[in-house]
Amino acid sequence: MKLKIPPAAQAFIVSISMWLLDKYIIIGSFTFTNQKIIAKIIFLFGALIAIIAVWKFITIKTSTDPTNPSKATNLVTNGIYSYSRNPMYLAIVIVLFSWMLALGNISNIFILLLFVWYITKYQIRPEEEALIKLFGNNYTEYCKQVRRWI
């Protein structure tokens, strides 16, 4: 797996792209009552998922390095990982969704969907291939039980 841009950097690029789209191409702007508060709550929810997911990796002493999944020493299948195989990426999408809400530009949904497609194709699927090589049937069975996203 040859990942050139780590997922956190990709998310940063996406968030800047969303901001630029909102600033310079104002198509589909929206507002609603308590918009900023709801965006903050969703952001905190995404951040909490990220913290729980990373903490799970730390407690079992396995790698959180997305650029080299072959460093993984343990297969994590319980806790938050019993609901999503990729809660760290799910958390990024939730945080980006909260940013879209805070900006109030529905056009940013296209950037968000593009990010989901890109991260699935160029990050998650290659990670899955690496994890199949590392953990074999255990990972294959896990994939049958738990969905990729949610």
**d(C-alpha 146, C-alpha 21), whole Å:** 35
pLDDT of 1: 58
DSSP state of 28: S
pLDDT of 3: 62
Residue 30 included in any domain: no
Buried b (16+ CB within 10 A) or exposed e, 61-77: eeeeebeebeebeeebe
Domain span at residue 135 reads: 9-18+35-64+73-145
Number of domains in the chain: 1
Mean pLDDT over residues 73-84, rounded? Answer: 96
Indicate if the pLDDT at residue 142 is higher than 80: yes
Sign of CA dihedral 131, 137, 138, 143: positive
Q: Smallest Cα–Cα separation from 43: which of 15, 76, 21? A: 15
pLDDT of 11: 97
Helices (H) and strands (E) in the chain — how many of each? 6, 0
**Which residue did the predictor score with more confidence, 117 or 2?**
117
Residue 14 included in any domain: yes
Residue 98 included in any domain: yes
Residue 150 included in any domain: no
Residue 96 included in any domain: yes
Mean pLDDT over residues 62-82, rounded? Answer: 92
pTM: 0.95
The rounded mean pLDDT for the chain is 94
